[in-house]
Amino acid sequence: MGTTNKRGRRPQPMTGLDRRYDVEGLEALDVDVLETFPYEHPGKDIAVEIDTDEFTAVCPYSGLPDFATIRIAYIPKKKIIELRSLKYYLLSYRNVGIYQEHAVNRVLEDLAKCCSPKWMKVSADYKIRGGVHTVASREWGRRKP
């Protein structure tokens, strides 16, 4: 026989265009978790490079997950980003609906505000989805030549 709804009708099959998964808004991003510690060698430029291939967010249109390798490079001025707090911050993107290019901008702005570096670059190398590969990046400040 088959399943029926409360009105005794058979539900219509969902198409890909009808399907949508729950998506959280930008308010779910946990910027307050970010911590820093003092850079003990001011005036001595050091390049800090961090990457993780465990970044995920979701497409705000479809709710489908986007997976990326996030690369963060910066030259600290007075503060260094504490890595545990960075992991928690990046994890807060897990169910947030944000376009790939906007995620890069948001991560860069939040991190630059957190540690006020001399220079910073954030890039996201997204896994191929639907045959399309995307890499988005943005720089903040000025890197010495």
Residues with a catalytic annotation lie at: 59, 66
Which of 8, 36, 121 lies closest to 70 in space, CA to CA? 121
Which residues touch 88 (CB under 8 Å, ≥6 apart)? 30, 33
> Which residues are bridge partners to 38 per DSSP?
79
